[in-house]
Amino acid sequence: METDPREKRAKNYVVMRSVMDLGMGLIILSFGIFLVIAPKLGIEFNIDSLFRYLFAGMCIVYGAWRMYRGIKKNYYSE
Protein backbone atom coordinates (compact mmCIF):
# COMPACT_ATOMS: atom_id res chain seq x y z
CA MET A 1 0.00 0.00 0.00
CA GLU A 2 1.25 3.40 -0.90
CA THR A 3 0.86 6.27 1.48
CA ASP A 4 -0.46 9.66 0.50
CA PRO A 5 2.43 11.98 -0.43
CA ARG A 6 0.85 14.77 1.63
CA GLU A 7 0.83 12.57 4.72
CA LYS A 8 4.47 11.63 4.18
CA ARG A 9 5.41 15.28 3.71
CA ALA A 10 3.50 16.25 6.85
CA LYS A 11 5.24 13.50 8.84
CA ASN A 12 8.66 14.60 7.56
CA TYR A 13 7.81 18.20 8.49
CA VAL A 14 6.84 17.17 12.03
CA VAL A 15 10.08 15.21 12.47
CA MET A 16 12.17 18.09 11.10
CA ARG A 17 10.44 20.67 13.34
CA SER A 18 10.76 18.39 16.35
CA VAL A 19 14.49 17.91 15.87
CA MET A 20 14.97 21.63 15.24
CA ASP A 21 12.99 22.59 18.36
CA LEU A 22 14.89 20.12 20.51
CA GLY A 23 18.26 21.28 19.17
CA MET A 24 17.57 25.00 19.42
CA GLY A 25 15.95 24.54 22.82
CA LEU A 26 19.04 22.75 24.08
CA ILE A 27 21.33 25.49 22.73
CA ILE A 28 19.26 28.33 24.21
CA LEU A 29 18.82 26.52 27.55
CA SER A 30 22.56 25.84 27.71
CA PHE A 31 23.33 29.50 27.02
CA GLY A 32 21.02 30.58 29.83
CA ILE A 33 22.69 28.18 32.25
CA PHE A 34 26.10 29.40 31.06
CA LEU A 35 25.13 33.00 31.80
CA VAL A 36 24.13 32.02 35.33
CA ILE A 37 27.32 30.11 36.15
CA ALA A 38 29.77 32.30 34.17
CA PRO A 39 31.11 34.21 37.23
CA LYS A 40 31.94 30.91 38.92
CA LEU A 41 33.93 29.93 35.84
CA GLY A 42 35.88 33.21 35.98
CA ILE A 43 34.19 34.79 32.96
CA GLU A 44 33.14 38.40 33.38
CA PHE A 45 30.75 40.37 31.17
CA ASN A 46 30.52 44.14 30.85
CA ILE A 47 26.81 44.13 31.69
CA ASP A 48 24.91 44.59 34.92
CA SER A 49 24.38 41.34 36.82
CA LEU A 50 20.62 42.03 37.13
CA PHE A 51 20.29 42.24 33.35
CA ARG A 52 22.45 39.12 32.97
CA TYR A 53 20.23 37.14 35.35
CA LEU A 54 17.02 38.40 33.68
CA PHE A 55 18.31 37.48 30.25
CA ALA A 56 19.52 34.09 31.52
CA GLY A 57 16.09 33.43 33.02
CA MET A 58 14.38 34.29 29.74
CA CYS A 59 16.78 32.01 27.86
CA ILE A 60 16.15 29.14 30.27
CA VAL A 61 12.36 29.52 30.09
CA TYR A 62 12.32 29.88 26.29
CA GLY A 63 14.76 27.00 25.78
CA ALA A 64 12.68 24.74 28.02
CA TRP A 65 9.52 25.74 26.15
CA ARG A 66 11.17 24.95 22.79
CA MET A 67 12.23 21.55 24.08
CA TYR A 68 8.72 20.88 25.41
CA ARG A 69 7.24 21.84 22.05
CA GLY A 70 9.69 19.51 20.29
CA ILE A 71 8.74 16.63 22.56
CA LYS A 72 4.99 17.27 22.31
CA LYS A 73 5.04 17.45 18.46
CA ASN A 74 1.69 19.24 18.17
CA TYR A 75 2.33 21.25 15.01
CA TYR A 76 -0.94 20.56 13.21
CA SER A 77 -4.06 21.50 15.14
CA GLU A 78 -7.02 19.68 13.72
- At residue 78, the pLDDT reads 53
Q: Dump pLDDT digits (tens) for 4-34.
A: 888 888 888 888 999 999 999 999 999 999 9
Find, among 3, 20, 7, 6, the residue nearest to 73 by Cα. 20
Domain ranges, residue 15? 5-71
DSSP string, 23-40: HHHHHHHHHHHHHHHGGG
With respect to residue 28, please indicate whether it lies within any of the assigned structural domains: yes
With respect to residue 35, please indicate whether it lies within any of the assigned structural domains: yes
With respect to residue 60, please indicate whether it lies within any of the assigned structural domains: yes
With respect to residue 23, please indicate whether it lies within any of the assigned structural domains: yes
As a whole number of angstroms, the distance between CA 44 and CA 76 comes to 43
With respect to residue 37, please indicate whether it lies within any of the assigned structural domains: yes
Question: Considering its fold, how many domains does the chain have in total?
Answer: 1
Q: pTM of the full predicted structure?
A: 0.83
With respect to residue 76, please indicate whether it lies within any of the assigned structural domains: no
With respect to residue 43, please indicate whether it lies within any of the assigned structural domains: yes
With respect to residue 78, please indicate whether it lies within any of the assigned structural domains: no
